[in-house]
Amino acid sequence: MENKNRQTDKKIIIAIDGYSSSGKSTMARELARRVGYVYVDSGAMYRAVTLYALRHGFVGRDKPLNREALVAALPDIHVSFAAGCGADGVQHTLLNGEDVENVIRDLEVSSYVSPVAEIAEVRRALVRLQQEMGRDKGIVMDGRDIGTAVFPQAEMKVFVDASASERATRRLRELEAKGEKVSYEEVLHNIEERDRIDTTREQSPLRKADDAYVLDNSNLTREEQMEWLIDLFDRLTGVS
Ligand code: CDP
């Protein structure tokens, strides 16, 4: 399947949205690699802004989020990506030029990211950046509002779902592999809390776009879900 002659002249935008820890990022990155597209992890951008807020004391333990201070600092926050700069060859997220790829995945950042992502000004700045990144198409972007707000015109939209317990189990495995000491209950709580905030917020809440294809991967292997995605991609781009 990988050697199939794809019509590289017909580039599309692929939007992958879904709940936290549904495996979107892994599948989006893999799909981009398989079809030769650029991959952008929009969640990493919200995480980088959250890390900035934490480091500057705009939010933290016993410290309510200081929205005004964060919004005022937005012009000083520059989020970008560097292709394959890590030993793993994977794209890394940069915050004002510093590689923050690992630290933005911590449970600490995860705990504050959804309230930060609710701020209209933060969303406006990041959505503008994301839309610029997709100007030439040939891009796979994953997040919460990619098919609804960032690229409502995307040719391929996928909405990923999986049960909260399955997602918590996967995320726990990931964090443990990185040496973080966290319990299943903590991870599940964080996932449920983010689901709640992400789906009920005023600004572009997480919801399935009307024209999105639903992928429930609770019981799919990585290979099965990749096959599903490539089939859909081939159908939509007219590769036979
Ligand atoms: O990887 P995981 O599913 O845990 O989350 P993520 O994709 O890294 O996103 C982290 C958080 O950023 C989400 O829980 C949302 O609150 C926010 N986010 C968003 O509001 N809009 C996006 N397009 C992407 C992420």
Render pLDDT for 128-139 as a digit per residue (tens, 0 to 9): 999 999 999 999
**β partners of residue 214:** 159
Q: What distance in angstroms lies between residue 206's CA and the mean position of ligand 1's atoms?
A: 10
Tokens of 17: 């949205």
What type of residue is 186?
E
**Which helix (DSSP H) or strand (DSSP E) does residue 41 occupy?**
strand 38-41
pTM of the model: 0.91
Q: How far apart are CA 128 and CA 161, in angstroms?
A: 26
**Which helix (DSSP H) or strand (DSSP E) does residue 53 occupy?**
helix 42-55
Q: What distance in angstroms lies between residue 98's CA and the mean position of ligand 1's atoms?
A: 20
> What's the pLDDT band for 23 if we cut at 50, 70, 90?
confident
Q: What pLDDT is stored for residue 8 in this prediction?
A: 55
Pairing outcome for strands 139-143 and 13-18: parallel
Q: What distance in angstroms lies between residue 6's CA and the mean position of ligand 1's atoms?
A: 31
Mutate to test the pocket of ligand 1, among 24, 46, 161 (most ligand atoms within 8 A of CB): 46
Q: What distance in angstroms lies between residue 183's CA and the mean position of ligand 1's atoms?
A: 21
Residue 80's φ and ψ, nearest 5 degrees, are: -145, 180
193-209 burial by CB neighbour count: b if 16+ within 10 A, else e? ebbebbeebeebebebb
- The response to whether residue 19 sits with its C-beta less than 6 Å from ligand 1 reads no
- Quote the longest CA-to-CA distance of the chain: 57
- The response to whether residue 46 sits with its C-beta less than 6 Å from ligand 1 reads yes
- The response to whether residue 42 sits with its C-beta less than 6 Å from ligand 1 reads yes
Closest-CA residue, ligand 1 atom 18, reads: 43
> What's the pLDDT band for 146 if we cut at 50, 70, 90?
very high
Tokens of 83: 């292709």
- The response to whether residue 204 sits with its C-beta less than 6 Å from ligand 1 reads no
Instruction: Give pLDDT tens digits for 38-67.
Output: 999 999 999 999 999 999 999 999 899 999
Q: Is 130 helix (H, G, I), strand (E, B) or coil?
A: helix
Q: What pLDDT is stored for residue 215 in this prediction?
A: 95
Q: How far apart are CA 171 and CA 232, in angstroms?
A: 27
118 contacts 204 by C-beta, under 8 angstroms:
no
Question: What Cα–Cα distance (Å) separates residue 189 from each residue in 164, 171, 184?
Answer: 10, 12, 8
Q: How far apart are CA 184 and CA 187, in angstroms?
A: 5
Closest-CA residue, ligand 1 atom 23, reads: 143
